[in-house]
Amino acid sequence: MEYAHPDVLLTTDQVEALLHDTENYRIVEANENPLLYAAGHIPGAVQVDWLTNFLHPVRRDLMSPEEFARLCSKLGIGPETTVIFYGDQSNWWACHALWIFSYFGHAKCCLMDGGRGKWFNERKPVSWDVPVYPETHYPVPTVVPNIRAYRDDVLRHIERGGKLVDVRSQLEYDGIVTHNPDFPAEAAMRAGHIPGAINVPWNTAVTEQGTFKSADELAQIYCREGKLHPEEEVIVYCRIGERSSHTWFALTYLLGFRSVRNYDGSWTEWGNMVGVPIERNTARATMPETPMHTEAS
């Protein structure tokens, strides 16, 4: 069994071969820790910061289409530019950036398998220079709404018995912890999961090297064990939408699921809303909820 869309997932060797083609390709680094870029990056790569570049400065939402167009123009990205994403945490934030670009209708997006860790482990070229490319005139895009889910979409999805995947750790899913103590802004009043959601932690999809598992292994995890079907609509979520972007990528591009939506409000929204249903694994979840580090899970 092969990946459904193998051309979207590039090897480090393929990316290395494209380093000098800055006219057609733009390499973009997206990390949880934005300071990593200054410590060395792929030559020619530009940086995006999920917090300052992609989110509205006041409202809990993504940037506007106009702001997206300005960001692409500043980075020297045109509508026909193929954008190659990579980053830390086995490409959490790279997948999040790719999902955002896809949401704003940028069709030519790829991911470097294994991310920043694999590139550095293979001792491939590293640069400390910050490149500047000629500014483009990126047109204001129209969003692609069918890859994003809002809270009302999730409520309707629950009512009709739709499939949901909670990609957080089991501790978060069971309702034992609500967030990483290092990220108090991502806290929620309640712990648990959305009713009916299955728990498939994001890292189930990757190897110890941070690369995606084979198509057969992914199908075993999501289709045979998780009982998901490629023709059914699936909504994925985590705590703030980054880990679920990773699973969204795996289901959409590697397994060829037809309709996967990322609920980027995720648990920071759902766990803080009044009147929405939650479930907890009462056999394991006890009060008080003790936060602990769960990012590696």
Please provide the DSSP assignment of 140-207 as one string.
PPPP-GGGB--HHHHHHHHHTT-EEEE-S-HHHHHTS--S-TT-GGG--SS-SB-TT-EE--GGGGB-
Q: Please give the structure tokens belonging to residue 125.
A: 């070229």
Question: Is residue 238 annotated as a catalytic residue, yes or no?
Answer: yes
CB 54 within 8 A of CB 48: yes
CA–CA distance, 193 with 277 (Å, rounded to integer): 9
**Residue 282: CB atoms within 10 Å:** 10
Q: Going by C-beta distance under 8 Å and a sequence separation of 6 or more, which residues neighbour residue 275? A: none
d(CA 196, CA 190) in angstroms, rounded, equals 17
Rounded Cα–Cα distance for residues 43 and 128 (Å): 8
- Structure tokens of 285? 């979840």
Compute the half-sphere exposure of residue 186: CA atoms within 13 Å on the CB side of its CA. 23
Whether the CB-CB separation of 197 and 99 falls below 8 Å is answered with no
Torsion of CA 61, 63, 65, 69, to 10 degrees: -160
Q: How far apart are CA 276 and CA 151, in angstroms?
A: 10
Select from 79, 112, 92 the least CA-distant residue to 7.
112
Given 72, 95, 110, 238, which residue is catalytic? 238
Residues identified as active-site: 238
